[in-house]
Structure 1
Amino acid sequence: MDCITLQEVDESNFLACFSLKLDAQQEKFVSHPIRSLAQAYVYRKQCTPFAVCRAGQVIGYLMVIYDYDEEAYFIWHLMIDAQYQGRGYGRAAMESALDYIRSKPFGDSDIVRLTVNPENSAACHLYQTLHFSATGRADEDEIELERVLD
């Protein structure tokens, strides 16, 4: 597998992020990149959007946000373009995001959280293999998972 890098979304790559596509059955699980990046702009003091890149090409995006109320980092809106799925790029992007979070200061906790629709079996499997576990909390149609960083 080619090396995956995370590059902050900026004027050089945001249009490539806008062009990312999912299979039709996945669209209910992930917000469109335009909506996600608009959210990142609104929460720009605590959110960092990343382009997921392979050999200099944008193949996905994800966002990392710090929730000051919960004193925890969240991984928000992971998406890998449909034509690049099933090759380990989502796992590599998540591992890079966890490395990024490890480099950041924490409040009283070293917990990373995310939410996932339980019907999204591929994402649930990925998060389980990355040692995320259910917190018992839910947000609309998604369940919350968390992991303590090592």
Structure 2
Amino acid sequence: MITLRKITLGNRRAIFNLEVADEQRSFVASNLSSVASCYVLATNGGHPFPFAIYADEQPVGFVMLAYGITGYDEPSIAVDNYCIMRLMIDKQYQNRGYGREAMTKILEFIRTFPAGPAHYCWIPYKHDNVNAKKLYESFGFRDNGEDFNNESITVLSL
């Protein structure tokens, strides 16, 4: 069973040590860098939500969500909407359905509107990340035609 859990003093090292496969490294920042980005977002008026992804009691991935990104060079849809900024499943736990289960939990959390109301959830992704695109589309996300920082923007109506 997949759960989203807060990153704590007790689990942080395990989360920071999770990695994607070598051929996927250009698609996602390290988890340590992502947690640092959460601090920057929070101290500049944003609402980040970093979570460890657990399969039962085993940490298998990481997700970084954000709401209301302002003051940064971001696509127009960023204002007052939720973003799945980072999502990764460790290389040794891929192809077990954990990414799909995690997306279900992530969208359930977003639909509680923890930082405020929104109409959309959006995800930036690298054009050549075909597996991510397939996953997002299976949940109803659709590219909005915007190319931002060499990434496609895919959007889901909440």
Q: C-alpha deviations, 1:46-105, integer Å up to 9, x for none?
A: 001000001111100001100255110001110000011111111111111100011115
Partner of 1:143: 152
Q: Which sections of structure 1, spanning at least 5 residues, go unmatched?
A: none
Partner of 1:115: 124
Partner of 1:18: 16
Q: How many pairs does the alignment contain? A: 146
Matched, 1:93 2:91: no
Matched, 1:55 2:56: yes
Matched, 1:73 2:74: no
Q: TM-score, normalised by structure 1?
A: 0.92
Displacement over 2 Å in runs of 4+: none
Q: Which sections of structure 2, spanning at least 5 residues, go unmatched?
A: 71-78
Question: Which of 34, 37, 62 is the aligned partner of 1:36?
Answer: 34
Q: Secondary structure at the residue paired with 1:83?
A: helix
Paired-residue identity, %: 34
Q: TM-score, normalised by structure 2?
A: 0.87
Question: Which of 55, 60, 83 is the aligned partner of 2:92?
Answer: 83
Partner of 1:4: 2
Task: Please give the root-mean-square deviation of Cα atoms over the aligned residues, in Å.
Answer: 1.3
Between the aligned partners of 1:15 and 1:42, the Cα distance in structure 2 is 20
